[in-house]
Amino acid sequence: MAIARYPTTVLDCPDPVVLARFYGALLDWEVQGSGDWAEVRADHGQVLCFQQVQGYTPPSWPSQSPPQQMHLDVVVDDLDTAEAAVLELGATRAEHQPGETFRVLLDPAGHPFCLCTS
């Protein structure tokens, strides 16, 4: 029997609502929260949470100073179409692109995330 259920990923950031709106639009998930905590929820139960951190320093990709410590991979049908869409939402394309079957982007708080085709 499991000790716990429903793991949640929580991302530190300077503005939780801004980041929740970004990921809510990216994933088409419901956005909830205000102030120092916000989250996005899927109809099937998955959730991403965002907490405000004073003095937040974004990770530096691909440098390890400060390290990224974690990142999200999201599956898309077409890299070019998905990249254009997330750039419109406020993402930026990372300068360093180490592969051809995925794209590294930075969310509005600077967290790296990957668009993947598989």
Residues 81-114: tens digit of each pLDDT: 999 999 999 999 999 999 899 999 999 999 999 9
The token pair at 73 is 């991979």
CATH code of the domain occupying 1-56: 3.30.720.120
What CATH topology corresponds to 58-118? 2,3-Dihydroxybiphenyl 1,2-Dioxygenase; domain 1 (3.10.180)
pTM across the whole model: 0.84
DSSP string, 78-114: -HHHHHHHHHHHT-EE-S----SSEEEEE-TTS-EEE
> Which segments of the chain have a pLDDT < 70?
2-6
pLDDT at residue 2 in the model = 62
The domain spans of the chain are 1-56, 58-118
pLDDT at residue 64 in the model = 84
Please choose, from the candidates 23, 57, 60, 56, the residue with its C-alpha nearest in 3D space to the C-alpha of residue 42.
Answer: 23
